[in-house]
Chain A
């Protein structure tokens, strides 16, 4: 029984699988509790779990955190939306037309290694301190990766699938609409799920400079006034939001692509 759990690629009971996930969380909080309640770490550096919990409750009762969540979410969502709006079609074209790949792959491959955070001063110069600047950071942080990942998805469509479509009489336009698009859709949704997660990580960067609201701003304020419990609450909220969106994408994926599963 015990040895089966450590056999490579062997399936294990679902209950044990879930229990293992819960155990990790419990171990994490347990380790944290030992450090804080045990007095091993200065509470100024690491507040105890119950302090974090109370802070979170107070912030939600206070209500200000809700508007921070709202504004941060809209920044991430809109910045990411525009990145996907341009990146998905461009990536699909790059994955299917060699001329587009030749034209854009080198420059995108170059820009994507430039740090988005270092562009913030430039964005402020170019577009000011408003909402557009925050979204520009999110856009910049996700667009290039997203485009290249969509390109790979489209490129990996089985060539025979496209050739057989030509022999069935498909025009070039029909190949795009009726073959390449549906064939790459599951991969695109999965790419969006992964890159949307990255968009959240750029949020704090975007809200460090020139922001007066949002979760990132809240975290920066808390750090200025040395309130580690607030910092941790902000971080946990961002983590939870990211995880919820990730789950929603997975649900959408399962619902939309039932044809990928044997049970139908």
Chain B
């Protein structure tokens, strides 16, 4: 764990309910290396979003702690960028003002802010859309801007909570390719939550499979695919073997809760 960027140390979460306590997340530990792309794969309601929200500081763990660069996470902060499944762009701001919102909060001068926004607009392939408002964008474009907005803050880690979950299947695969391209260039550490097996394999260096509630890590699998990855890798035997294995694991877990 020497070169770990993010350490999840014995983190557990219990929610009080009318029927008593509900364990959303069993004590869980793992770590992520600097520049690593980790995907967490689990059936719905397994507490995978809870992990991410605890890392973001939006939720307090009931036990354990989260360390980012050795420092304990207590509250949300700009060193942990987040992209939600729902569309969270500010509808009253243009695309470039959305992207540079975090910099504005920090008090970065306007000229510098817009330069940064330009850089990320290029990166996500939305040059020419700087003056558009979110209502004029498609779902995929909105999520690309949300990614750019999180990256423009230059966070230590990017947290993504099923960011493509609301998109149609065709758009989703294209978004995955765009995200990989962005990651190749920025080399951010990414923690990515999904329930889509293909997505988890295609994107991740390693895939953490979670159990059904109470959520627990069931298995950690290294993805044996070379980088940079192309769309065509999804047809390779390695990919398909891994996909079958993971589908089996997820199916076991889903059956427990259906």
| A binding-site residues for B, Cβ under 8 Å | 158, 160-161, 163-171, 174, 178-179, 182-183, 185, 257, 259-262, 264
Q: Can you name 25 A-B pairs with beta carbons within 8 Å?
A: A158-B86, A158-B88, A163-B84, A164-B82, A165-B101, A166-B75, A166-B76, A167-B57, A167-B76, A167-B78, A167-B150, A167-B159, A168-B78, A168-B81, A168-B101, A169-B78, A169-B105, A169-B153, A171-B105, A178-B104, A179-B90, A182-B92, A260-B91, A262-B135, A264-B133
A171 to B102, CA, bound (A): 11
Bound-complex Cα distance A182 to B92 (A):
7
B105 touches A160 (CB 8 A): no
Report A-chain residues with C-beta under 8 Å of the C-beta of B104. 178
**CB within 8 Å: A-B pair count:** 75
Q: Is the CB of A259 within 8 A of B92?
A: yes
Q: Complex formed: what's the CA distance from A110 to B82 in Å?
A: 42
Judged by DSSP, the binding face of A is: helix
Q: Are A160 and B90 in contact (CB under 8 A)?
A: no
Q: How far is the CA of A178 from the CA of B98 in the complex (A)?
A: 12
B233 smallest CB distance to A (angstroms): 31
Residues of B with Cβ closer than 8 Å to A?
56-58, 75-78, 80-82, 84, 86, 88, 90-93, 101-102, 104-106, 132-136, 146, 149-150, 153, 159
Cα distance A261–B136 in the bound complex, in angstroms: 8
Min CB–CB distance B204 → chain A (angstroms) = 22
CB distance from A176 to the nearest CB of B (A): 13
Q: Is the CB of A169 within 8 A of B102?
A: yes
Q: How far is the CB of B135 from chain A (nearest CB, A)?
A: 6
- Is B136's CB under 8 angstroms from A178's CB? no
List, in ascending order, chain B residues with CB within 8 A of A260's CB.
91, 135
If A259-B133, A262-B136, A264-B133 touch, does A169 touch B92 (CB 8 Å cutoff)?
no
